[in-house]
Amino acid sequence: MAKKKSQSKGERSPEQLVKFLLERMENCEDAEALNDNVIIPFTAALETVCGARGYLLNIYGDKSNLAITSDEDAEAIYALIEDYLDSRRGE
């Protein structure tokens, strides 16, 4: 049987992190609070780690997509997504 990697003090397992994030999200009364208290801090952490390692982060999932871009590209990408979604709604 493989040994479990021991966690340092204050470190969370992936399962504990999911539980923590879910609790934080459930405590948000509205989308603005969710954005301010969970999504922006989580995204800032991703941006920091990815930027330090020279990554371009683009996550595609079954229920969501996440792209981390430069400030110059963010608004244009948002507009492209909105235009695409608007065109799909018209089908």
Give the tens place of pLDDT for each residue, 33-53. 998 999 889 888 988 998 898
Give the tens place of pLDDT for each residue, 41-91. 988 898 899 889 887 777 767 777 777 777 788 888 888 888 988 898 876
In this structure, which amino acid lies at residue 79? Answer: A
Q: Where are the domains of the chain?
A: 13-55, 57-91
pLDDT of residue 7: 60
Provide Rg for the chain, Cα atoms.
Answer: 17
Dihedral through CA 31, CA 73, CA 70, CA 32, nearest 10? -10
Beta carbons within 10 angstroms of residue 47's beta carbon = 14
Q: Does residue 55 contact residue 67 with C-beta atoms inside 8 Å?
A: no
User: What is the DSSP track for 10-73?
Assistant: T---HHHHHHHHHHHHHT--SHHHHIIIIIHHHHHHHHHHHHHHT---EEE-SS-EEE---HHH
pTM, rounded to two decimals: 0.56
